[in-house]
Structure formats: C-alpha cells, structure tokens
Amino acid sequence: MPAHVDTDLPNIIELRNVSQSYDGGENWIIRNLNLLVEDKPDQGQFVVILGMSGCGKSTLLRYIAGLQDPTEGDVLVHDRPRGADNRVSMVFQQYSSLPWLTVLDNVSLALRYKGVAAKERNDKARELIELVGLKGHEEKFAQYPTLSGGQLQRVAIARSLIANPEIILMDEPFGALDINTRLQMQDLLADLWLRFHPTVVFVTHDISEAVYLGDDIYIMKSAPSRFVEHIKVDLPFHRTRDTKRDPHFVELVREVEDRMVKVASIEE
C-alpha cells in the first residue's frame, strides 16, 4: 500500500523501497517500505508514526537523520540523497543534553559549532530558552535532578530549533514524562510548530497524542515492517486542549485505535 500519494507540492523526505537486514538478507526487519512527506510552504508538516514496539520506527528516524543507512533502498531529502548539508535536528526519548554544560551552552551549541559569535548565539539561545519556558534556568547545569525530565526535554527542543532546521525528528520525546508534564509538552510543541513551521516526524505509542499533534498518521506492521495504514487528521490547524473535547477528535482517536488493533491482528 503506498504511504502517500504524490502531488504538485515539493518533496522534502522520501524513503523509497527501503529494506533492513542484519544477517545478509536471511531475515528482513523492514522490507520495501515507502514514505513520502511533502513540503507545505509556510506551514510545514507534522507526520506521526505508530506501530508495535520493535517494528523499526526509530530506525526510520535514523535513516532520515543520516545516522544509519538501509540495507537496500534510497533515503532522499529534497529529491537528493541524504547529505550533510540537510538541516535536520533530532530529539530523543532519553535526555540528550550534555550534563557538564549549562542550559544556555546546551541550547547554543549548534551555533557555536557554526562559528557564530558568543553574544549573537547567546542572545538567540536566551530567546528560545524563554520561549520554551525555561527563563531563569540559563546558568543551571542541564542534568537531572537539577532540572526535571520535562525541563530537560525543553532544553532539547530549544536546541533543536536554534539552527532553524527544516526537519525535526522526535523519537518518543515525552514517553518518560508524567502525564501532566506530557500534556504541557504537547501544548508547547503544538505552539512551537505553528510558530516555526518545520517538518516534524514524530514517533509515539500514544494514540491521543498522535491525533492531537499530527497532520498525517502512518501505522507500521512488523515482521517485516512496512506501512499499512495512512490516516489524514482533519482537525483545525491550530489546536488547544479544547480540541481534545471535540467529538470529532474522540472519533478520530477511536478510528486510529481500531486500525492499530487491526494491524496487530494481522501480525499474529
């Protein structure tokens, strides 16, 4: 089943007939998987990937980030093979800040590597630190328990935004957070996406979270993995907590849940 129908919009990410084997082709973890994400000008895209644990969701993010090459197939960004010139940021589930650096130094790190002068990069970092709700924490070390889990993920998100990436990859970034912090982070991410318009590829196991944040939801089957379901999320562009109380939102969550159950039954 094709993961997306090509339109006249420019392509930003394409996985073309991607396959992954770790034993020379005797067993395939991923087989002939296709994904096309188009670039919506002045809007971006928010793509969510769902699937059973171990089906290869994180592997797909590593392909796009350039951290891993598939055994077979092509990974394209802007219709060209993935390269170092592509602006891609990644936020992991595990806290990825450098604990020996302050919040300010962590957030400004990408600009430091680009050779941006200290004042300019720190001014930009302070803007983003305030934007993600961490004003006053700039000089604290980015480590637990000095900062909470939610605060450390705010550091990671600010760091991912500072270099103006076209693509942000997020691998279950809220999975380790308590429910209240998770809800706050969902709202923060929705607001930041509206402000910066990146293309986000987001992996989660939380169906309600997927519907709340996503434009498009793709469901992967396992053994070997490929996409078998594609759901368009027809909700308002701007979403708030009230969106989750809308009967259509509730119906969409139920629809995605039913499709997840269907995919799981195929795998049994």
pLDDT tens-place string over residues 117-163:
999 999 999 999 999 999 999 999 999 899 999 999 999 999 999 98
Distance CA 257, CA 69 (A): 31
CATH number among 3.40.50.300, 3.40.50.720, 3.40.1160.10, 3.40.50.1370, domain 11-87+165-267: 3.40.50.300
Separation CA 192–CA 172 (nearest Å)? 17
At 14 the pLDDT is: 95
85 has pLDDT over 80: no
**Span 91-113, average pLDDT:** 89
pTM equals: 0.92
- Asked whether 141 and 132 are in contact (CB, 8 A), the reply is no
Please give the mean pLDDT across all residues of the chain.
Answer: 91
AA identity, residue 59: T
The residue to which tokens 């705010």 are assigned: 154
State mean pLDDT over 62-71: 94
What does the pLDDT read at residue 43? 84
Domain regions of the chain by residue span: 11-87+165-267, 98-162
Q: Using alpha carbons, select from 251, 268, 90, 244 the residue that is nearest to residue 167.
A: 90
Residue 214 banded pLDDT, cuts 50, 70, 90: very high
Q: Can you give the pLDDT at residue 44? A: 86
